[in-house]
Structure 1
Amino acid sequence: MTLEKPDSVWNHKPWWCQPWSIILTGISIISGSWLLFKIIWLTILVAIPISAWMGFFVILFPKLALQAESQQSI
């Protein structure tokens, strides 16, 4: 009896497009903004689109890819 590992969207992406690299890049950009400017409102302005980008690619994109795959197999 062998258990097949479910296919993941991340298996088809290069190393620079993996969840760990997306999160690390986003945190680095937000932190870099704070370390460079030390202005909270600027860091927040940077954090909003970067957080949206991370959320899309780490949370929403895999769900959408799974839906597309399941519709394609019908």
Structure 2
Amino acid sequence: MYTQWIFFWSFKTWWCQPWSIMITGTILLLIVWELLQSRWILLLLSGAILCWWILFLVVIPALYLQSFVKQDT
């Protein structure tokens, strides 16, 4: 299972790797806070980034692994 997980990420470019997705979201939050210092905007943006992280770091890889397992059976 772990090798299939690594296999999934090996097809992705550098800007679509887990580390780059997390760094981009974190930097975006820091920039917005420094520029606007609005908790409400930061909260809304944090929610959007959290959804983005869950989608691209959890849901899509899990669906890929699930389809990979179905092909093996």
- Secondary structure of the equivalent of 2:3? coil
Structure 1: state its 5+ residue gaps.
none
Q: Deviations over 1:7-64 (max 9, x none)?
A: 3210111111000000000111111111110010111011111111012111222111
With the length of structure 2 as denominator, give the TM-score of the two structures. 0.84
| Structure 1 residue ranges (4+ consecutive) displaced by more than 4 angstroms after TM superposition | none
Higher percent of residues as helix:
2
> How many residues get paired?
70
With the length of structure 1 as denominator, give the TM-score of the two structures. 0.83
C-alpha RMSD of the superposition: 1.4
For residues 20 and 55 of structure 1, the distance between their equivalents in structure 2, rounded to whole angstroms, comes to: 14
Q: Percent identity over the alignment?
A: 34
Structure 2: state its 5+ residue gaps.
none
Bigger-Rg structure (1/2): 1
Aligned counterpart, 2:71? 72
Higher relative contact order (CA 8 A, sep 6+): 2
